Amino acid sequence: MAKSSTAKKRPAPRRKSVIGRTSKTSGVATREIKPKDLQKFVLVGDPQISPDGATVLFTRKHVGEKLQTVSNLWMAKTTGRETRLFTNGEKDSHGRWSPEGSQIAFIGEREKGNPQVFVIPSAGGEAVQLTQFPEGKLRSFRWSPDGKMLAVAFRETEDDFTSAAKKRREETGESDPPRVIDQQFYRLDGDGYFNDKRHELFIVDVCSGEHRLLFDKDNCGFFNFDWSPDSRELAVTANTADDAIVSPWKSELFRIDVRAGKVKKLQNTPVGSKSSVAWSPDGKWIAFAGREGKEIWGSRNTKLYVCDAKTGQTRDLSVDHDYCLAVATLSDTAEAEFGATIVWSRDSRRIFSALGWHGTCHIASQSIEGGLWTFHTEGPAVHTLGNISDDGKTCALTQAHTLTPPNIGIGNLEIDIEGSRPTVTALTDFNDTFLKSRQLSQPESFWTESADGTPVQLWIMKPAGFKAGKKYPTVLEVHGGPHTQYGEAFFHEFQVLAAAGYVVCFSNPRGSKGYGEAFCDAIRGSWGIDDWADVQAVTKFLKNQPFVDKKRVGIMGGSYGGFMTNWAIGHSQDYLAAITDRCVANLVSMVGSSDIPLIPNHYWPGNSWDNPQPLWDRSPLNSFGKVTAPTLIIHSEGDLRCNVEQGEQVFAALKLRGIPCRFVRYPQCTSHGLSRCGPPDLRIHRLKQILEWWERWL
């Protein structure tokens, strides 16, 4: 029987040592993995099982002949590893079965900047463009349960910034127009600049393709939505406050009449952010994910709530455990899942989600009465949840391991068969042949204690060709977030470093998700204290390993990991060299340069105009007079989260002090997520720069 569990604030038992294991295939020659191997990976995601449970639809990505990322829809039979290409477009995604399974709708972009919804028979045939939206961004859609409508989130491009307007200017010689900005929220990393435009909710008729606006009151455009089972209403979580971007806790739960457009706010829901709304199949309940109170940066647990669909009376189902529903396990071979996934059982008695814990992520379910979670997957792996078949017995999912990028699979959800075990069946193996020809290093999990006794989890990878008795240069990787986790996922960058002869270590210091709310919330507004103590403990643990050369240890990380890299080299001499990637260096200047505002005296104490000292005290640049480590700075000019000016300040300070450094700036077309989802050729260039730097200094 699938097992129930509650979160515990103590480390799991250490697994049997497999450190340094490499993939071996009898009779097959293997070699070290290289940066350019990035082009060979096939990445899969967004699995959707058909209503009859026979087929899983999913998105498959690979690098094309012109180094572009090609995205298609594929299908896999649930009875075996039989896969086939389903759509031929280069940018097809978000495939969704119609309620009865005869059609599939998906988002396709046949013209750049002009995504539309297409519909195709599930048995195959020609895809027909359903919608005629103007140029813009089409985020997502949902079928109505009766199959007659789609609810679509779409944002139109401003007239002056359309492709047609650009072409007219080229013909007339006019300059690009200025951006006239009135709203505080006018840009988002990875999404670009949109000024006052927001995603709005539209209803599309499946027969005619005609669309009409239903809801446009969310002042950030981050709304979530789901249909009532009778197709008459939509449940919507939205923030209609004028200051929505700096007060996510003002989001509300609404019911919207699809025909009349009448909006009703449910009055009894708690104050706090709300997302991932899901209406129960019996129509009685609405579930959503949320964080209590005035919380903005995600250091608190994202909880599961269920409310009465009529009254809004809400119950918190998270009171008996310490899990967070929004734990992103970072990797460079999968898109990070930062939001919660909520899926109802067909009998409306249980809710399924994915829970991150100690570097893993598992599919679990909970009764609407509350209590412990029942886990439907197990072991050292990272799972994401898609949807559930109509009979409620099977879910579509992805499963990743430290030696395997995500595969599409199905999971057994039956929990009433005595003696049964959680089972996952893999349906794809696109990377198996390639990976069998490469030597891979198996990470091993360890625990150490910080100075105050706090347990800290870490993983160590031995280099290719490891020989006992030899000491190796070592690279300590620090993850971004900071409220995310490293764990049991395949990381190409780590494998490349191990293949080049380095011991690689990655860990989850305080501030990470997956260890309970107190562990994550410990660094709220105080980066560089408890988290730094944990990083120091990990460094000490590393240097005590007999195969680590204590004098040749480097540190690197991106985003918050860049913050910690900057902090580490300004507060110790433990690291011979460093690489700071898309970093945070100066919190005072970041107040005005980041797409996400730093609200005064909220997560961070102080402000940038009349009380900057608290921010400056927590800024790594404050200690750069002590830096001696040669440092590589990597940043994207299109980074709107940690603006390139952060990297510029690091480079300027080090150059002025005569510290060896190099500044690698990637072009405006790249964003904060370059290392995970940027252009393949630039990602390969980045990896080569990293290898060159470590070769020079370690």
| Cα atoms in the 13 Å half-sphere on the side-chain side of 369 | 1
CA angle centred on 318, ends 342 and 484, rounded to 5°: 70
DSSP secondary structure string for all residues of 170-212: HHHTPPPPPP---SS--EETTTEE-TT---EEEEEETTT--EE
How many angstroms separate the CA atoms of 423 and 3, rounded?
A: 12
Handedness of CA 592, 595, 599, 602 (dihedral sign): negative
How many angstroms separate the CA atoms of 115 and 12, rounded?
A: 46
How many angstroms separate the CA atoms of 108 and 105, rounded?
A: 9
Which residues make beta-bridge pairs with 265?
254
Q: Which residues of 632-658 are buried (b: 16+ CB within 10 A; e: fewer)?
A: bbbbbebbbbbbbbbbbbbbebbeeee
Residue 685 a catalytic site member: no
The type of residue at 650 is: V
Is the separation of the CB atoms in 485 and 328 below 8 Å?
yes
Look at residues 567, 577, 588 and name the one whose alpha carbon lies nearest to residue 643.
588
Name the H helices within 441-597: 492-499, 517-521, 530-543, 560-571, 587-593
* H-helix or E-strand spanning residue 70: strand 69-77
Alpha carbon 151 to its chain's center: 24
The owner of tokens 């039989």 is 82
Is the separation of the CB atoms in 255 and 248 below 8 Å?
no
How many angstroms separate the CA atoms of 413 and 377, rounded?
A: 9
Catalytic site residue from 23, 228, 331, 559: 559
For the record, the structure tokens of 679 come out as 């252009």
For the record, the structure tokens of 541 come out as 């643990």
Backbone dihedral angles phi then psi of residue 462, each to the nearest 5 degrees: -85, 155
Is the separation of the CB atoms in 424 and 47 below 8 Å?
no
Cis peptide, bond prior to residue 482, ω within 30 of zero? yes
Residue 512 a catalytic site member: no
Catalytic site residue from 492, 619, 672, 675: 672
- Give the list of residues 6+ apart from residue 457 with CB closer than 8 angstroms, or none: 11, 358, 359, 445, 446, 447, 507, 508, 515
For the record, the structure tokens of 384 come out as 């994401």
Catalytic sites, residue numbers: 559, 672
